[in-house]
Amino acid sequence: MLDIRATAYISPVAEMDFASVPLTVRIANVADETGLVTGKFRVYNSTTGTLIHTSEILPVSLQAGQTVDASAFTDFDPPAPADAVYFVIFDGSATNSLVPNGIGIHLGSFYFDVKAIGMGPAPAAHHATHELGGSDEIDVTGLVGAALKGAETHVSEATPTPDTDHFNQYCLTAQAEAADFQNPTGTFSDGQTLKIRILDDSTPRALTWGAAYVSRGPALPAITVADKLMYVGLIYNNAQGTWDCVAATVEA
């Protein structure tokens, strides 16, 4: 399955003299499938919020387990006045033949300070995560963008088990037997969402649900409707340790 993450900014350093700023993002493929990664940097003035610069990255193909430093097509040239603070955001997409619609990649804002030449040395102290030669290590597992993972699809499963670390939608197509949904697997975060889509093989099929699935209004469906798409919407409740059913609909 495809799971590619932006894990660190390699540059720019926290403080630098007025000059072109190379933009690079480190992307890790922590899955067992090759993926093609594309994306874009956006640089903003932190005081005004104005978008200053955008640049696509050079597309990269990542083999399973590979880590690559992907660079922007064009460096960022800070506009006058040179003494200013900027932040950069990276958004991208990873695709392959198994995930043609792609999964989203996001790395949150990274601040850096551009100094005019001759203003003296950079401050002795700055944010601790900038101490790694300009590398800003960020845990992306909790970022919203890291949850944009696409759909896991199975033709028919007796014990469907959603993998929430890698997908945010679980799909059953042509379900040909009763389905006993097992509790989702993965490391969950409060408010994380999971959608389940079910379509039978023109015969109604019984549905049962593990203890982690709890109705919080709409009832968890007990049977499919022949030839009708069914959707179940779930939100993870960290306080209760449950996947709360907040929506359940059947195609008209």
Do 185 and 237 share a domain, yes or no?
Answer: yes
Q: What confidence score (pLDDT) does residue 100 get?
A: 80
Instruction: Out of 120, 145, 170, pick the residue that ends a domain.
Output: 145
Q: How high is the pLDDT of residue 52?
A: 87
Question: Looking at the structure, do residues 130 and 181 belong to the same domain, yes or no?
Answer: no
Q: What is the pLDDT along the chain (252 residues), one digit of tens a residue?
A: 677 877 766 655 444 555 677 788 888 887 778 889 999 988 888 778 888 889 998 888 888 888 888 888 888 877 765 567 777 888 888 888 888 878 888 776 676 666 654 434 443 333 333 333 333 333 333 333 333 456 788 989 999 999 887 788 899 999 999 999 999 998 888 888 899 999 999 999 999 999 999 999 899 999 999 999 999 999 999 999 999 999 999 988
Residue 50: Cβ-neighbour burial (10 angstroms; 0-12, 13-18, 19+): exposed
* Of 136, 111, 104, the residue nearest 8 (C-alpha): 136
Same domain membership, residue 241 and residue 202: yes
In this predicted structure, what is the pLDDT of residue 105? 82
DSSP annotation string for 115-163: E-TTS-SPPS---GGGTBTTBEE---TTSGGGG---EEEES--SS---B
Domain boundary among 77, 110, 145: 145
CATH, residue 93: 2.60.40.10
Last residue of a domain, one of 125, 145, 165: 145
> How far apart are alpha carbons 9 and 136 in whole angstroms?
5
The pLDDT value recorded for residue 125 is 35
Q: Tell whether 135 and 11 lie within a shared domain.
A: yes
Model pLDDT, residue 112: 67
Q: Please tell me the pTM assigned to this model.
A: 0.47
66 and 180 inside one domain: no
| Same domain, residue pair 110 and 8 | yes
Q: Are residues 10 and 105 in the same domain?
A: yes
Domain of residue 46, residue span:
4-145
CB 58 within 8 A of CB 40: no
> In terms of Cα–Cα distance, which of 80, 84, 103 is closest to 93?
103
Clarify whether residues 134 and 194 are in a common domain.
Answer: no
In a shared domain, residues 25 and 73? yes
Domains of the chain: total: 2
